[in-house]
Structure formats: C-alpha cells, structure tokens
Amino acid sequence: MKSIFLRIYGGMLLTLVVVGALGLLTLRVVNDVRAQDYRQELARGTFRLMSDELVPMEEVDRKRAILQWSRLMGIPLSLQHLDSLGLESRARARLMNGEVLVEQSAPHLFKVYSQVSLQESLVLVGEVEQVSEQLARATLYMVMDELRRYPASEQPYHLARIVRDKQFGYDVHLKRLKEVDLDDDQSRRVEEGDTVLALGKNGDSLRVLAGIVGTPWVLELGPIERMNPYPPQLLLLLAALGLTLIGLTLYLLVSRLEQRLRSLESAAARLARGSLDARAEVSGADSVGRLAGAFNHMAVQIQRLIMVQRELVRAVSHELRTPVARLRFGLEMIESAETDTARQKYMAGMDGDIQDLDQLVDEMLTYARLEQGSPALSYKAVELGALIEQVVTEIAPLRREVLVTCEAGPLVPFDQGSWIEAEPRYLHRALQNLLSNAIRYAEGRVRVSYRVSLDRCQVDVEDDGPGVPEDRWERLFTPFFRVDDSRTRVTGGHGLGLSIVRRIIHWHGGRASISRSESLGGACFTLAWPRRQALLKE
C-alpha cells in the first residue's frame, strides 16, 4: 500500500512539472500569436492606403510612388507578382481576400504583403524592422496628403471614410489644436506643420501628431499601444499558485483515497485473521466504493460458505454415527453368531449400511460442489416431457403400490413442444430427488405435471401423503433438515435431496418452492426457471 501511494505522489510531482513546462510553452506561443496580430493591426491601414493609391496608376507612376514612399518610410518597398512570392496556399488565400500579411523573415525583420491588383496578381511588399513608429510617421504623411485634396470643412468626413475603408489598427482623429494635450513647444511645432511624437504617461503608448497647414486641424494617430508580452515572472507566479492549488486538491483527494483504501485494507486483514464479520465502509459510488461493495459481497459469501461448511461437517459427523454404529454392532454380532444363516443376515445388514454410506457421500459431494459456486453447466436443448417420463420410469418401481401419473400442461409455442434449455444431468438429478421424495411419503398416488411458456417452464410434483407443516416450509430446503426425523429413519434419506434440488434450480436461474396440493392433499413441490438460459453451450 505504501509503495502504491509513493508512486501516486511521484506521479503527481511529475504531473506538476509537466504542467509547468506546458505553461511556459503556452506562454511563448500566446506571446507569438499576440505579437503577430499586433504587427498586422499596425501595418494593415498603412499598406491598404498605399495599395489603393497604386491601383489606378500607370506602371511608371507606380514605380515613382513606391520609390517616394520607400524614402518617406525608410524601408524598401517593391511591387511583385503573387506567384513569385512562394507563399503557402493559406497565406495566398488570405492575401487574395484583402488581408494584410506580416511574416517574420529574420530575427528582427518582417515582410509585409498587401494586394494591389487581383487581376494582375500584384502584391506590395515591404521590409520593416519595427512595425510601429516607423509606419505611423509614414501613415500620418500619407493621410495628410489624402486630406489636402479636400476643403478643410470636408476633411473630417473624408477622414472617417478613410479610417472605415482602410481599417487602421489604432485611432485616427482630426482635432483642433486647443483640444490636443501638448506642452507649449510641442503645440508650436504642431502648428507649424511639424511631426510630434508624444509618449503616454507610463511610456507604454505613442501618439503621432502633425498640423495640416492652412487648416485648423491637427491630425492625431494613436494612442498606439506598445506590444507588452506577458512576462514569464507573471506566468511563473500564476503557475506556482495554480500548481499549488492543484497539488493541494490532489493531495486532499489522494489522502481521502488513501484513508478509504487503508480502511479496506484493515477490513481485509481482519477477515484474514478469521473475523468473518469484518466489513469495509462503503461510501460513494466511485471505483473505491464499488471495490468496497465487492469486498463486502465477497466477505458475505466467504462467511456463508464457511458456515455451510461447518454445518456440513457437524451434520456429516451426526449422519455417520448411525451407520458406523450399525457396522460395529454387525461386526460384533458376526463374531458371536453361531450359524451361517445368522452371519449372512448380519452381513446383509452391514452391506445395506455401506450402501447407505455411499449414498450419503455421493449426496454430500454433490451438495458441496453446488454450494462452492457456479458449477460447470453445459446447457443443451432438452425435451422436458421426455425427461420427466424417463425419471418416472426409473423411480416408479421403487414403490409399485404408488400410482405415478405424468400430465402435460399448456405448451407455448405449440410448434416447439416442451423443448427447453437446461443442463440435462443436473435437471435429471433434481427431478429424481423430488419424485423419490414424493414416492417415499405418498399414500398411493403421485402426480407430475409440467407446462412450458414462451419464457418460463414449470414442473409440479404432488403427492397424497401427510404433507409438510406450513411453519417448516422455509427450512425444508436447508441441508440435513428433516420434518420428522424418526419417520425419515424408516423411509430413508439424509436431508440433502431437497437442498440439492434448490441449488440446481438456482444455477438454472429459477427457484424451488413448496405448497399444499389442492387436489391430492399432500405436498406440492414446484420448480420454475427460465426456458432459455443466458449462456447456452451446444
């Protein structure tokens, strides 16, 4: 038990280490995905703006514009054919759907792709080192150039259209100078049309501003939030807290499991020491609870079998006394016998005692075999009517003065007669025991009736004898029980026949019962069991 829980705790520790490693790997993947989305958000509006500007241009104008933008942004720009880029099919599909792609080509270098013309399969390609401030400045100049084409009063409307169409990854506003939060020097530079970079209070954001000369407007881009990856320290802290809670929960669960298993182990140890009433505590419907229930069922079975064994030993010792005593008496009488006739008489009595012992041993072995557990039953198709007729033919000559009749009841379905599934040898033994018992106590008549339905079959054995008192019906099928011990000594029997009948029918999935015969007045023994067995062996 201790080694099992050492392995469990070792497995828990290994699990925690694996979870921690997976957490770090997940953090890296999440940061990579966030950085990729961040770069695409920043580059999307700028490159769409340039791509849309290139669409109506001639080839010469396109080259001139690309060269101008390259100088303005300080990055190399080029116009390339889609097939020459060597992109994966998924990336090509996204590009043809109008998305702007950003892919890392070197440790600190990114390529940005934006479709220019779907018909011509042209793509604008740029290489940037920082997808933030560098693009923001260029975007500011390009938006200002776009707005200068319109009167100052229409510029806010056209800016809203540009922002809507290009889908910038940050805010773009037109504000009046007095609405902008800048110091005096920055305000002066903006008013003169210069570009101003304003950092946020914590330095984690950036605004790019420039005044549109000849208008009251100030064009503001941002705030552009910096990409702040999740720090490993935060993950380690969260992972430590999470793993601590997981470890504590697992420890509580395992400790509870250990306590329940130790209780089961204690019950098993008490049972092994001979305390047959030892039982495990059954709590819950989980695997441990089911194990405890199975253990208790096993303990009940062991206790029952040992009690049966003890009763069998006591009963056997009692049953053996009489024939052994008669054998000893016969030996003594043979020694003192004076004539051969007397010796032959005593020897015949001793032979009967030996046969009685053989019969007792045979019944005890049969009963013990049936009580030890499910015997090896080989179910076969049996014609019940023919089997009963055979048993009647074998048993009836024992008392020729008793009339034995056999009657067939309703047989459903009719086309199958009385065919059933049973173990022929054991069923023959059960019917033989019942019929022998009925003939032994009958006054002059025994009737055997049977009926077979679609699912069940039943056999009734009735006699016109004295019957069995109702208060003894429950005990009648217990081993070595006799209704009238003195009468049994005369008629024969050891009190095991009905016990064997009960066990045979039990292993056939049925039950044996007793009642009073309404027509004959004596006892009526009934056997009822399923017509088809769950395990049929041909």
Please report whether residue 392 resides in a domain: yes
Q: Do residue 109 and residue 12 come from a single domain?
A: yes
Distances (CA, A) of 184 to 180, 187, 191, 219: 11, 5, 10, 17
Residue 37 falls within a domain, yes or no?
A: yes
Q: Are residues 389 and 440 in the same domain?
A: yes
CATH number at residue 449: 3.30.565.10
Residue 340 lies in a domain: no
State the pLDDT at residue 487: 40
pLDDT of residue 535: 46
Cα separation values, 248 from 13, 24, 440, Å = 12, 21, 73
Q: What is the domain count for the chain?
A: 3
Q: Which of 194, 229, 264 is the last residue of a domain?
A: 229
Contact 159, 142 (CB under 8 A): no
The reply to whether 381 and 517 lie within a common domain is yes
E strands present in 136-227:
172-176, 195-199, 205-211, 217-225
**110/159 same-domain check:** no
Check whether residue 115 and residue 155 sit in a common domain.
Answer: no
Give 468-489 as a 3 state SS string: CCHHHCCCCCCCCCCCCHHHHH
Task: Please tell me the predicted confidence (pLDDT) of residue 488.
Answer: 43
- Of 74, 103, 126, the last residue of a domain is 126
- Whether this model's pTM surpasses 0.85: no
Are 392 and 435 in contact by the 8 Å Cβ rule? The answer is yes
115/158 same-domain check = no
Parent domain of 162 = 132-229
Rounded distance between C-alpha atoms, residue 213 and residue 211, angstroms: 6
Domain membership flag for residue 192: yes
Dist. CA 402–CA 447, nearest whole Å: 10
Strands 205-211 and 122-128: unpaired
> Does residue 466 sit in the same domain as residue 488?
yes
The whole-number pLDDT of residue 458 equals: 92
DSSP state of 517: -
332 burial type by CB count under 10 A (0-12 exposed, 13-18 middle, 19+ buried): exposed
Q: Return the ∠ at Cα 287 (arms to 281 and 288), rounded to 5°.
A: 30
Q: Does the residue 103 lie in any domain?
A: yes
User: ∠ CA 78-135-169 to the nearest 5 degrees?
Assistant: 110
Q: Is residue 357 part of a domain?
A: no
Residues 150 and 179 both lie in one domain: yes
CA dihedral sign, ordered 81, 86, 92, 95: negative
pLDDT digits (tens, 9 = 90+) for 143-186: 888 888 888 888 888 888 888 888 887 888 888 888 888 888 88
Residues 407, 452, single domain; the answer is: yes
User: Does residue 426 fall inside a structural domain?
Assistant: yes
Same domain, 466 and 517: yes
Residue 279 lies in a domain: no
Q: Token match 């501003």: residue?
A: 209
In SS3 terms, 370-382 reads as HHCCCCCCCCEEE
Q: Mark whether 158 and 81 lie in a shared domain.
A: no
pLDDT at 538: 44
In whole angstroms, give the CA distance from residue 500 to residue 478. Answer: 9
pLDDT on residue 537? 47
3-state SS assignment for residue 420? strand
* Residue segments in the chain with a per-residue pLDDT below the cut of 70: 1-13, 15-16, 19-20, 118, 130-134, 227-236, 238-239, 308, 311-322, 356, 359-360, 363-376, 413-415, 479-495, 534-538
Residues 236, 241, 244: CA angle, nearest 5 degrees? 115
Alpha helices (H) along 337-450? 340-371, 384-395, 424-441
Quick check: 223 and 205 in contact, CB under 8 A?
A: yes
HSE toward the beta carbon, residue 291, CA cutoff 13 A: 12
Domain boundary among 184, 199, 229: 229
In this structure, the answer to whether residues 389 and 491 fall within a common structural domain is yes
Q: DSSP string covering 76-113, please?
A: -EEEEEGGGS---HHHHHHHHTT--EEEEEETTEEEEE
Residue 170 CA: distances (Å) to CA of 48, 173, 210, 223, 224: 14, 10, 16, 7, 6
